[in-house]
Amino acid sequence: MTLSPEEVERYARHIVLHGVGGPGQQKLKGARVLSIGAGGLGSPFIQYLAAAGVGAIGVIDNDIVSLSNLQRQVLHGTQDIGRPKVDSAAEAVARINPHVKFVKHPFRFTAENAAAVLAGYDVVGDGSDNFETRYVVSDACFHAKKPLVTAAVGEYDGSITTLRPFENGKDGKPNPSYRCLFPEAPPPGSIPACSEAGILGALTGVVGAMMALEVVREITGFGENLVGRILLMDTSAMRFETMNYSWDPQNPLNGEATRRA
């Protein structure tokens, strides 16, 4: 995957960067990344992927832009209110980097369409705002053998991890799945929605940018990813910590029972 002279200049800071370089930039150009959502987390995620030169970015989102989105969903502007988010996202990506192909999926990600959607992508970033979708996405990525970077935010807190449960770790055991980390969704109503509790706008920018960083790492292969680790952020106190988690033999996705079947 060769780079044009214009691309060489555009990505010069990557090309001279140890760990990325020309070969890494070529991998980015050849990569196809799917973003689950174009909202608070999806906005910075998509922007930084486009700026990084990811060859194709797909966005699946059936929502339209509303005025209350604009405090944190920086991919969209006032002029986009009432428009499908995939449309305003496509225009934003075109402004950022004309070398990036944008693919619109103006519908919800479901168990029924998951296999067909995922077939066209190498890596997935999930910035959805509900546990139901996160379980569907993580299960589908496991079955499709697609690396998944998944993140979530609360009022002032955030978390991010990378999932590759279809592979074994260095210890020979399977990598943990999302269900190893969160075996069950919290009871309905136990976690207030963003519209009820509020959310710090800049927090979504920080976490969404970290999602892009993790995906770039997955594509180029530099550094140590977050497989088996979850990064936790408390921005009310500016505390960041990383916790390890491991494969649960009892989990229903890639636990011992499924491996014997």
Sign of CA dihedral 19, 101, 87, 10: positive
Give residue-wise pLDDT tens across range 149-179: 999 999 999 999 999 999 999 889 999 999 9
Question: Domain 31-260 in CATH: superfamily?
Answer: NAD(P)-binding Rossmann-like Domain (3.40.50.720)
Q: CA-to-CA distance for 95 and 99, rounded, in angstroms?
A: 10
> Tokens for 254?
């890639």
pTM for this one?
0.95
Going from the first residue of the chain to its last (261 residues), give the mean pLDDT of each consecutive group of 10, the final group possibly shorter: 94 97 98 97 98 98 97 97 98 98 97 97 95 95 98 95 95 94 80 78 97 98 95 96 95 81 54
Q: What is the pLDDT of residue 254?
A: 87
Q: CA-to-CA distance for 178 and 184, rounded, in angstroms?
A: 10
Q: What is the pLDDT of residue 174?
A: 94
Q: What SS3 state is found at 150?
A: strand
Q: What is the pLDDT of residue 261?
A: 54
Q: What is the pLDDT of residue 188?
A: 75
Q: What is the pLDDT of residue 260?
A: 61
Say if residues 137 and 161 touch (Cβ distance below 8 Å): no
Q: What is the pLDDT of residue 197?
A: 79
DSSP 61-125: ---B--GGGGGT-TT--GGGTTSBHHHHHHHHHHHH-TTSEEEEE-S---TTTHHHHHTT-SEEE
Q: What is the pLDDT of residue 185?
A: 81
Q: What is the pLDDT of residue 190?
A: 66
What is the edge-to-edge ordering of all strands in the sheet holding 101-105? 101-105, 56-60, 32-36, 123-126, 148-153, 157-163, 229-234, 239-244
Name the one residue in this structure whose structure tokens are 């989990």. 251
Q: What SS3 state is found at 244?
A: strand
